[in-house]
Amino acid sequence: MTVSEDIHCILSVLNQPLIVTAACLAVVIVCAAQPLFPSSTSTKVARHLIGLGLRSSGGDDEEYKITKCPNPNCARCSRYAELNRSAQRRLPYVAKGEALQRIRHAITAGPDVIDDEQEAQSIEHVHVSPVSGQRPNVLLVRGLLARPFVTKLHQDACSKLENVGRNVILSEYVQAMQSPSASTLENDVTRGTWQVLHLMNQGEWVKSNVALCTNTRNALRSLGKGRTMEGCIFGNVFISVLHPGTVIDPHCGPTNIRHRLHYPLQVPDTKAGVEVPKLRVAKQKATWKEGECFVFDDSIVHSVSFGEEGSAHSDDNAAGACGGCRVVLIVDLWHPDLTREERHAITDLYPSVGK
């Protein structure tokens, strides 16, 4: 029976004008509520888009594409996969009680299962995880505040580091790099050079490097107990050196339970002919300013560009640091929405590499 036949039938039975009007509206509402496509179809489309690292709603999807780790033999990625399996096995014994319900849900559901209804909302309108462009590949805890830049939430940590002074930390780094005991790594990038000196690597202090940077270690201790992510694999502290001409493709951090603090120690002068390095988080852009901290959510898609390919590298200065490089102290901090009990459970389920 068609909609018009339904209405005609009702009209033939009901003679009261008010009742007729109400009945007609009821039929129209029921018909309009039916989806144009089966629900299973719309769900599959959304899941497919999510799997590609794109938001499922309309708009400029280019801003939400992500690039997976280019190294098929990446030790860090392998370690994450192993820890996820371990967390699944140990979950019933570690995360007990109502207070840890969202941690249990995060590990059981996995980071790839995202609520379609909320996913359809853009990050400009929804500020609770998960949001558009948020693609952590290990642990996604739902309900945490999610915004590209969250400096105001960690203003005390920023102030304490800024009070130490960038020159103190930068000079110590330059001196450390002259030591044969300094242990550095080079991250995989599409183009250019990205070097790091870890003080904490995946939750474990790198003793040889820390011994060379005692002032920096003391500055980190001043942040207070429980601010840095010691003992948890998601926690890192390192000095990041980006050379001119380097491009870091759009990517997401492994989890949304942390925020990443940047303390710029050295930023190249545009007068030297080098383009200023730029950070993009979702749709928002930022640049580094010497001595001014900022904090962002690295579980949201972000990328870095530092000049065009072939940009000239500045010669190393007398102290041993690249004069035209961007040098930043990076510190991972716990997301402030997590309770103390949740932080302890996550640390137990995702321990540092040394545990």
SS3 for the chain is CCHHHHHHHHHHHCCCHHHHHHHHHHHHHHHHCCCCCCHHHHHHHHHHHHHCCCCCCCCCHHHHCCCCCCCCCCHHHHHHHHHHHHHHHHHHHHCCCHHHHHHHHHHHHCCCCCCHHHHCCCCCCCCECCCCCECCCCECCCCCECCCECHHHHHHHHHHHHHHCHHHHHHHHHHHCCCCCCCEEECCCCECCEEEEEEEECCEECHHHHCCCHHHHHHHHCCCCCCECCCECCCCEEEEEECCCCEEEEECCCECCEEEEEEEEECCCHHHCCCCCEEEECCEEEECCCCCCEEECCCECEEEECCCCCCCCCCECCCCCECCCEEEEEEEEECCCCCHHHHHHHHHHCECCCC
Give the per-residue pLDDT at 309: 52
Give the per-residue pLDDT at 250: 92
Report the share of the chain in percent with pLDDT over 90. Answer: 55
151-349 belongs to CATH 2.60.120.330: yes
Give the per-residue pLDDT at 83: 84
| Distance between CA atoms of residues 195 and 239, nearest Å | 8
Give the per-residue pLDDT at 66: 67
Q: What is the pLDDT of residues 52-97, one digit of tens each?
A: 233 333 334 566 666 666 677 777 777 778 888 899 999 999 988 8
Domain map of the chain by residue range? 3-32, 151-349
Give the per-residue pLDDT at 209: 97
Give the per-residue pLDDT at 304: 95
pTM score > 0.85 for this model? Answer: no
Cβ atoms within 10 Å, residue 144: 23
Q: What is the pLDDT of residues 124-168, one digit of tens each?
A: 666 888 888 898 989 999 999 999 999 999 999 999 999 999 999
Residue given tokens 């190393």 in the structure block: 316
In contact, 126 and 118? CB cutoff 8 Å = yes
* Block mean pLDDT (10 aa), the chain, length 355: 45 41 39 34 27 32 63 76 89 90 92 51 68 90 95 97 96 96 90 95 96 96 91 97 93 96 91 79 94 97 80 43 88 97 96 80
In contact, 240 and 277? CB cutoff 8 Å = no
